[in-house]
């Protein structure tokens, strides 16, 4: 009996965890193909930090990035000793898995007094585990994947800490949990710029907790102080950096804001419509961030999310009942998820680039799936009493879940991963060039002509970062050791005789000098790499 009880209690989360691990680690060495320059830039900063021992809280290149993710990547580079794309993406996969577990724990903690709370927690985490949207970013080396993980775990520890704090004989554990939770939450400030709206969510949660449970407000203020102080202590190094470098705090925010648009109100309304529509009609069109144009939610999940939203908004108009404290957790959950969703929605719609934008919307993922999971539980609560044979319903649910899991596998690993547009979006060609250079050895001089535009990084455009990472030639001394050189199109005349030349972009056609015969000019028909003869 104990074994059967344990299976019922822990079996679902272990099964969900196994699914999450599979989707985030399977074939990580080859899917997605290529390595996007932004990912490679992170890897090059990580490699430099590892070589110099100078780990930064903020890396200002490539429009600026909080440094925690690159510093974690540096540890993986050290442990593996390999300069391949999967090494940079493995931390993302782990953060993705951690988020799935965190969503289960958060939903369970908030809803454990609700009869179907375990079902809501299981549904939320399962649907997240098979979400194409979340899987995709769990397999790309971008720091944004950390933001939902930190927020989920920070909020879970907050809810758990408050419960322990107001229970008899558990005060000490409550304080410890709150302090630890605050530290975890503060770590999220090192993840992604959109995370900076989340202090409003923390403030709301404390206020709502007092409103629903009427606990000792002095003790609650103490809890708030402990949580916030722990958060600020973790944030302090980055905060100090921003005080000294205020321009880096804003980054590209002013450039991307709709306030820079000629018609800001019109753009705001359009952005709101597109962002709402991305869940059900048209999602991100960037192949690097989505199966181009597909909704971010599979149609069944989209319907369940809509049902959850109806229940969520209906809860806002229910009369508050102080005589039903167990229901307060359910209502608190609805309110918290809606506020979280709204706050994460805001940074997306006030930007004016690439809307709908799946990456910029990443902080919305946990509330979307918790709302969906709670909607599933409410549906089950309504349907279950009307059935004389509930095992048939359970069988149908398992079949649908299995079909949805396969659909995600097919969409991600077959349709998306094998689409030529995906390889192009992740610059597979530059990875191939990097591997070719690695096979040649240091004896022969190798020149990479960067004939593509992009943000300037130490005198060379961003597209070069992929080749630099694969060949481990980011720093000048590494380039010298491996006899690899990066030049701009206007400097092709400096390439020595018989060097091997690679092109990022089209082969340049330089203007002939008066003493140079036309027959020696380069043409765009030359292969990707070719020995360069200089007369």
Per residue in 283-317, pLDDT tens?
999 999 999 999 999 999 999 999 999 999 888 77
Same domain, 320 and 203: yes
Rounded CA separation 518/512 (Å): 7
Rounded CA separation 209/219 (Å): 12
Antiparallel, parallel or unpaired: β 446-450 and 499-504: parallel
Same domain, 362 and 472: no
pLDDT, tens digit, for every residue of 420-447?
999 999 999 999 999 999 999 899 999 9
Rounded CA separation 61/71 (Å): 15
pLDDT, tens digit, for every residue of 5-14?
667 667 888 9
Asked whether the beta carbons of 220 and 209 are under 8 A apart, the reply is yes
Least confident of 39-48, 231-240, 294-303, 379-388: 379-388
- The residue from 420, 439, 463 where one domain ends is 420
Same domain, 485 and 413: no
Same domain, 387 and 409: yes
pLDDT, tens digit, for every residue of 37-50?
999 999 999 999 99
Same domain, 112 and 196: yes
For the chain, the helix, strand and coil percentages under 3-state DSSP, each to the nearest 5: 65, 5, 30
Same domain, 438 and 314: no
Domain count, the chain: 2
Query: Does the residue 42 lie in any domain?
Result: no
Q: What is the pLDDT of residue 252?
A: 67
Same domain, 312 and 177: yes
Query: What share of the chain in percent tops pLDDT 70?
Result: 91
Query: Does the residue 96 lie in any domain?
Result: yes
Query: Does the residue 36 lie in any domain?
Result: no
Least confident of 299-303, 318-322, 324-328, 379-383: 318-322
Q: Residue 479 sits in which domain range?
A: 430-532
Same domain, 382 and 402: yes
Q: What is the pLDDT of residue 8?
A: 67
Query: Does the residue 350 lie in any domain?
Result: yes
Query: Does the residue 77 lie in any domain?
Result: no
Antiparallel, parallel or unpaired: β 446-450 and 484-487: parallel
Query: Does the residue 345 lie in any domain?
Result: yes
Same domain, 521 and 375: no
């Amino acid at each position: 009996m104990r074994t059967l009880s344990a299976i019922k209690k822990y079996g679902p989360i272990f099964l969900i965890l196994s699914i999450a691990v599979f989707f985030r680690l399977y074939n990580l060495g080859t899917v997605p193909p290529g390595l996007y320059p932004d990912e490679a830039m992170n890897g090059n900063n990580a490699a430099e930090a590892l070589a110099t021992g100078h780990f930064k809280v903020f890396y200002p290149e490539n429009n600026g990035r909080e440094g925690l993710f690159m510093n974690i990547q540096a540890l993986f580079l050290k442990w593996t000793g390999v300069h391949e794309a999967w090494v940079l993406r493995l931390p993302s996969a782990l953060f993705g898995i951690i988020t799935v577990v965190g969503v289960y724990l958060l939903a369970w903690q908030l809803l454990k007094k609700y009869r179907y709370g375990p079902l809501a927690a299981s549904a939320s985490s399962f649907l997240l585990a098979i979400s194409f949207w979340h899987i995709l970013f769990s397999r790309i080396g971008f720091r944004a994947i950390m933001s939902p993980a930190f927020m989920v775990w920070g909020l879970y520890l907050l809810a758990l800490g408050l419960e322990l704090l107001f229970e008899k004989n558990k005060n000490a554990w409550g304080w410890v949990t709150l302090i630890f939770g605050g530290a975890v939450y503060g770590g999220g400030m090192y993840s992604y710029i959109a995370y900076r709206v989340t202090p409003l969510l923390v403030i709301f949660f404390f206020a709502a907790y007092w409103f629903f449970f009427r606990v000792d407000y002095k003790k609650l203020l103490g809890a708030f102080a402990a949580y916030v102080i722990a958060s600020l202590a973790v944030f302090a190094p980055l905060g100090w950096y921003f005080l000294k470098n205020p321009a880096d705090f804003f980054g590209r925010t002013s450039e991307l804001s709709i306030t820079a648009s000629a018609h800001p109100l019109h753009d705001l309304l359009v952005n709101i419509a597109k962002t709402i529509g991305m869940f059900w009609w048209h999602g991100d069109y960037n192949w690097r961030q989505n199966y181009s144009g597909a909704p971010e939610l599979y149609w069944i999940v989209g319907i369940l999310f809509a049902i959850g939203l109806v229940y969520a908004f209906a809860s806002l108009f229910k009369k508050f009942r102080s005589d039903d404290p167990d229901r307060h957790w359910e209502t608190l959950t609805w309110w918290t998820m809606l506020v979280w969703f709204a706050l994460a929605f805001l940074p997306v719609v006030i930007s004016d680039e690439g809307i709908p934008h799946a990456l910029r919307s990443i902080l919305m993922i946990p509330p979307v799936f918790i709302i969906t999971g709670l909607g599933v539980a409410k549906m089950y609560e309504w349907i279950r009493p009307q059935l004389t044979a509930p095992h048939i319903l359970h069988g149908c649910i398992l079949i649908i879940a299995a079909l949805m899991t396969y659909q995600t596998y097919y969409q991600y690993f077959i349709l998306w991963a094998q689409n030529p547009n995906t390889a192009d979006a992740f610059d597979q060609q530059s990875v191939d060039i990097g591997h070719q250079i690695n096979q040649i050895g240091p004896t022969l001089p190798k020149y990479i002509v960067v004939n593509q535009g992009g943000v300037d990084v130490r005198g060379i455009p961003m597209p070069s970062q992929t080749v630099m990472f694969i060949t481990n030639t980011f720093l000048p001394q590494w380039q010298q050791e491996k006899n690899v050189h990066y030049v701009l199109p206007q400097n092709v005349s400096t390439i020595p005789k018989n060097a091997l030349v690679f092109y990022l972009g089209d082969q340049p056609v330089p203007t002939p000098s008066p003493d140079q015969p036309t027959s020696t000019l380069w043409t765009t028909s030359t292969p990707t790499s070719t020995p360069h003869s200089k007369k």
